[in-house]
Structure 1
Amino acid sequence: MKLNSIVAAAATTAVTAWAADSSSSRVERTYSTISPMASEIASAASNATTNHFTSNVTGAAFDRIVIVWLENTDYDKAAGQEDLKWLAQQGIVLDNYWGLTHPSEPNYIASVGGDYFALDDDRFIALPSNISTIVDLFDTKEISWSEYQEHLPHTGFQGFNYSNQDNFANDYVRKHNPLVMYDSVAQNETRLANIKNFTMFEQDLNDRTLPQYSFITPNMTNDGHDTNIRIAGKWSRDFLEPLLSNEYFMENTLVVLTFDENETYSIKNKVFTILLGGAVPDELKNTTDSTYYDHYSLISSPVANWDLPSLGRHDVDANVFELVANVTNITNKDVDTTYKLNNATYVGYLLDDQIALPAPNVTAINRNGRGVLQQVVDQWGDEYSAQMSASYFTSTTTTVSASVGDAATMTLAGNSSTLATSSATQGSNSTTHPFTSTGAGAVINALSLSSLIGMLAVFI
């Protein structure tokens, strides 16, 4: 039997045993779903307040960033779509950019909060207000921000979804709206007024009041979720091509066009991503950057660009776009992706209601040499250290506080959410949280795949 077959068989056996031992007693954390009636939505829309804040804080590599997310497409399929191929020629292809897990929702929340808190599905969630997001980092320098959500029924809408009122097809869904899923935004009326309908983008563009950070989500047709890559690619070009010739929009603007996750859960979770806009130098257009990035880079790159503090989570050591790293003296880390898949979650807060919210590492130093946001330090104190101690866990769990390498993330037994692992490698500035599990799976959790290979090699 070949080594990789032994590894797969051993891992599958161990984790299948763990799943049988622990999943039956695990209860997912749930929230009351907000589902207003059409009449209630109409009433709220008539009274909704919308902000049009703008600012002009100079960045090291760009002064404005516009992030656009598409849905559920394997890398090669996206790279081969004609409209996306045209857009790629106008910018930099990031051919080593990864989604973090499956399905969609955890990727969205991670891209603004630095963790997906063990979410393994697309249910209604409302993360507590003591979790800070990238918005809190922007506030330290009064950097303006907004979300633009296609077919959001009104500014600040917090409902689970909003269907097409003619045919009741999917249009807007909360799971693709990252910031509204954090109570630190949703329970703040001023911040909530920055969560806008997509039509407001055109208004802000024409009024020259675009914010310095925008997160744009097309509806479920145009992002490819309920259709295909041809529709998503065409929408992307139709939206972006006119902007690439708009002098106001292009002025030192960086556009990030990416996908939440790939479609095939059994392969590496790489997603096609392009950097576009006036911030991309002419000599870098139609080129490729093979540095490892993931959705946490959507926090670390703006943070490095504007020299901001960190959230103390996985944003701390996430690679920064080379476009930014080159002008901020940041050296990105090399990441071995040989055994990386990024298609499993870990056992934690949202997957098990008996596990506490993971604390940020308040002593961490980020890629641009800054510490953790002071309000995060004040909020969490030494909770991270307490969670890293064995006394934090109950006697029925196994503490895994050893380093869990990148190679440990794998799909097992056909279930992408079975294995409890981390996709971040521990170091001196680690943001890796201790994880708990019971039964045989704890053995796998504590080992990187490379360690497992070394152990099994003696039997060959």
Structure 2
Amino acid sequence: MFTKQSLATLLGGLSLALAQTSSQEYPPLAEILAKQASVQPYSPVSNVKGLAFNRFVNIWLENTDFDVAASNSHLAALASQGLLLKNFWAVTHPSEPNYCASAGGDTFGMDNDDFHQLPANISTIADLFDTKNIAWGEYQEAIPYPGYQGYRYPESGANDYVRKHNPLILYDSVTSDAVRLRQIKNFTTFYDDLAHHRLPQYMFITPNMTNDGHDTDITVSGAWTYDFLTSLLENEYFTNDTLIMLTFDETDTYTIGNNVFTFLLGGALPDTLRGTTDDTFYTHYSVIASLSANWGLPSLGRWDCGANLFSWLAEKTGYVNYEVDTSNLFMNETHWGPLSEDDYSEYYAGWPVPVTEGECSAGNDVLDKVKQTWGSLTATFNYTAPFPYDSRSGNNVGVKYSRTLKDGKVEEGVSE
């Protein structure tokens, strides 16, 4: 006779057996229902002290120009309590390559929102966190069960959950690991983890296609964000030593610079920065670099390697950020690569090679796994630059950047 404990053990075993990489864009409903009943979420916890914060919460909304987002009363009210990053940039269009970049440090030429599976030799932030056993998790609103890999859910009708807004599910190095898959969970599990103090130290939160503004507008996404965060900001367990970032995947207008409305909140934000603005140049890659600097993690050796760090974190590490002349910068396209459809970038079959030698902006070496996989090859791009560019396609070329080091030496560069 099964006890509750033995039944839970059995279900956990089923979860591990069922979790593996899948190429099915639209799994049969019977399979989805079966996994809803058997695949259990995994909620690891850790307490690795960081230099400037102990938990990072990454929340993304959709497709909104900076001025439109800034004029929303709900977002403005939240931003006034924190630090507004006025010079934070998405890295390309459309949505999916930005989400992809947030986890892997590159777009790999992606210029579309298709069903993608990046090979297992491409490392992600999950590999960085695992070097110090830092617990991570994703919370995807309306995902039907932990680690669901389908293109969307439900598979017909109005949009709700979509794979293209789920960064780590795109990578086979995550989906081939049964435990990692179960760390990609829904909002029900988020509130359960919150109540039982099981939140990870890094989390990526994606609202559904209504609440993130993709299928609605900034009025809806702004109101959702305000309702979601106001109660959480009063929860000591959630907010203490926590840095919360609210940003957008991209602008809605493709012909303007891809500068997106972004602000930081939470108990880890220094009091002197609350209610202020920061003009430092940042990109989605700056988040990976800042996470590495905060916890002393290695770099992926891709565009995170040269990315600027959050300014007060940079001061703590001694790193000097670059000033970037954005008057000639748009960040509206990506470099060539194997995930291109020859739309906003050029198709090329080879996977870009990361840098494997030297220090990156976080002050650390490149991940050993990256060096082992790619160390015999020459880096494809200048990944030590503070923004992505590609001389072959002319993407983001002709942009000047410079910094003055503490010894007075001036370093200058131009993307060409």
Change (3 A) 1:79 1:353: closer
Deviations 1:337-374 (A, max 9, x none): 01000101222221266521111111131113211111
Q: Are 1:238 and 2:219 counterparts? A: no
Deviations 1:168-211 (A, max 9, x none): 21000000000000000011101101000111111111101110
| Matched length | 378
Is 1:157 aligned with 2:148? Answer: yes
Which residue of 252, 257, 263 maps to 1:274?
A: 263
Which one of the candidate residues 302, 314, 319 is aligned to 2:303?
A: 314
Residue in structure 1 matching 2:218, options 209, 224, 229: 229
Given the alignment of the two structures, is residue 61 of structure 1 paired with residue 35 of structure 2, yes or no? no
Of 101, 104, 124 in structure 1, the residue corresponding to residue 115 of structure 2 is: 124
Give the match for residue 257 of structure 1. 246
Q: Percent identity?
A: 50
| Residue 86 (structure 1) aligned with residue 60 (structure 2) | no
Paired AA for residue 421 in structure 1? N
Q: Paired residue for 2:374?
A: 380
- Matching residue's letter, 1:363: E
- What secondary structure sits across from 1:268 in the alignment? coil
Structure 1 window deviating more from structure 2 (299-308 vs 40-49): it is: 40-49
CA contact (8 A) 1:61 1:279 kept: yes
- Report the CA distance between 1:74 and its aligned residue: 0.2
How far 1:283 sits from its partner (Å)? 2.2
Alignment partner of 1:421 is 2:395: yes
Give the distance between the partners of 2:400 and 2:356, measured in 1 at CA. 15
Taking structure 2 as the reference length, what is the TM-score of the superposition?
0.86
**1:7 counterpart residue number:** none
Given that 1:340 and 1:406 are in contact with CA atoms closer than 8 Å, whether structure 2 keeps it comes out as no
Q: Equivalent residue for 1:100?
A: 91
1:408/1:112 CA distance change after superposition, 3 Å: closer
> How far 1:49 sits from its partner (Å)?
2.5
For residue 33 of structure 1, report the CA deviation from its aligned partner.
4.8
Q: Does 1:331 align with 2:320?
A: yes
Partners of 1:41 and 1:89 lie apart in 2 by 43
Equivalence for 1:49: 40
Write the deviation string for residues 292-345 of structure 1: whole angstroms up to 9, x where unpaired. Answer: 001001100110000111111111010111131122222111111010001012
Distance 1:124 1:107 in 2: 14
Q: Would you say 1:38 and 2:32 are equivalent positions?
A: no
Identify the residue that residue 15 of structure 2 maps to in structure 1: none
- Indicate the SS of the match to 1:146: strand
Q: 1:42 and 1:294, CA in 2 relative to 1: closer, same or farther beyond 3 A?
A: same
Residue 283 (structure 2) pairs with residue 294 (structure 1): yes
Q: CA deviation at 1:405?
A: 10
Name the residue aligned to 1:369.
Answer: 363
Query: Does the 8 Å contact 1:68/1:217 carry over to 2?
Result: yes
User: Are the counterparts in 2 of residues 65 and 255 from structure 1 also a CA contact under 8 Å?
Assistant: yes
Out of 191, 194, 198, the position equivalent to 1:205 is: 194
Q: CA separation in 2, counterparts of 1:197 and 1:424? A: 43
1:355 is aligned to 349
> Do the aligned partners of 2:309 and 2:362 also contact (CA within 8 Å) in 1?
no
Tell me the amino acid that sits aligned with residue 120 of structure 1: D
Report if aligned partners of 1:339, 1:409 keep a CA contact under 8 Å in 2.
Answer: no
Q: Counterparts of 2:133 and 2:400 in 1: how far apart (Å)?
A: 32
| Residue in 2 that maps onto 1:71 | 62
2:395 maps to amino acid = T
Q: Is the 8 A contact 2:306 2:385 kept in 1?
A: no
The CA deviation at 1:282 is 2.0
What's the secondary structure of 2:244's corresponding residue? Answer: strand
- Is the contact made by 1:259 and 1:273 (CA closer than 8 Å) also made in structure 2? yes
Q: Which moved more, 1:86-95 or 1:352-361?
A: 352-361
Distance apart, 1:423 and its partner CA: 7.2
Quote how far apart the aligned CAs of 1:270 are.
Answer: 0.6
SS in 2 for 1:266: coil
2-structure distance, mates of 1:404, 1:312: 11
Local SS of the residue matching 1:355: coil
Q: Which residue of 1 aligns with 2:13?
A: none
Instruction: Show structure 1 runs of 5+ residues with no match.
Output: 1-30, 389-400, 411-417, 428-447, 452-460
The one-letter amino acid paired with 1:271 is V
Change (3 A) 1:173 1:233: same
Q: Give distance in 2, aligned partners of 1:198 and 1:223.
A: 14
Local SS of the residue matching 1:300: helix
Match of 1:384, SS state, is: coil
SS at match of 1:296: helix
Give distance in 1, aligned partners of 2:400 and 2:280: 20
Between 1:127-136 and 1:42-51, the stretch displaced more is: 42-51
TM-score of the superposed pair, with normalisation by structure 1: 0.78
Cα distance in 2 for partners of 1:289, 1:101 equals 22
What's the secondary structure of 1:65's corresponding residue?
Answer: strand
Q: Is the 8 A contact 2:282 2:307 kept in 1?
A: yes
2:176 maps to amino acid: Q
Cα separation, partners in 2 of 1:273 and 1:66, compared to 1, 3 Å: same
Please report the RMSD computed on the Cα atoms of aligned residues, expressed in angstroms.
2.6
- Letter of the structure 1 residue corresponding to residue 358 of structure 2: A
CA contact (8 A) 2:307 2:385 kept: no
Instruction: Name the SS for the 1:69 alignment partner.
Output: strand
Give the letter for the 2:325 counterpart: D
Q: Bigger CA drift: 349-358 or 367-376?
A: 349-358
Other structure's SS at 2:129 match: helix
Unaligned runs of 5+ in 2: 1-21, 341-345, 402-413
> What SS does the aligned partner of 1:100 have?
coil
CA spacing shift, 1:379–1:251, aligned 2, 3 Å: same
Equivalent residue in structure 2 for 1:187, among 176, 190, 200: 176
